Amino acid sequence: MVEVGAVAPDFTLHDQNRQRVALSSFRGSKHVLLVFYPFAFSGICTGELCRVRDELATYEAGDVQVLGVSVDTPFSLKAWSAEQGYGFPLLSDFWPHGEVARAYGVFDEKSGMAVRGTFLVDVAGVVRYAEVNGPGEPRDQEAWKKAVAALS
């Protein structure tokens, strides 16, 4: 897992609209909350990302760009985003399969999916918060908000 204090591995992935999104494009302008999750349309993932959606203003107020990341295709991410009304990019780590999740140490080789990894990257590209939860284990999003507040 990428540790707190390390430079976040850069990447470029396609979002649900097949637009390229690079982590480095936010350097110097916004913090980034990377939310890795196993699969679109699954119960715990939907609950977690709906809460992020409902509390998005909290992150935006802290100059934080939320980026969801999974191994799903952009096409399934687009359908899921439209269904749930997510107002932040969902990035496809589909091919090479799980390459970004591997770089962050949150790829489960046995199941072929990302586990629930959360990383807060500051405007300089340094990881300021890192948490990994196993399959079926929901995250404590209050900890994310505390980490965001500590950046201000």
Q: How far is CA 130 from CA 2, 23, 34, 151, in A?
A: 7, 16, 9, 14
Q: In Å, how far are 16, 19, 68, 110, 115 from 136, measured between CA atoms?
A: 24, 30, 17, 15, 9
Residue 130 near residue 2, CB atoms below 8 Å: yes
41: left (phi over 0), alpha (psi -120 to 50) or beta: left
Going by the DSSP 8-state scheme, the letter that residue 6 receives in this structure is S
Catalytic site includes residue 45: yes
Give the rounded distance of the alpha carbon of 3 from its chain centre: 16
**Of 40, 45, 64, 127, which is the active-site residue?**
45
Q: Which residues have a catalytic role annotated? A: 45
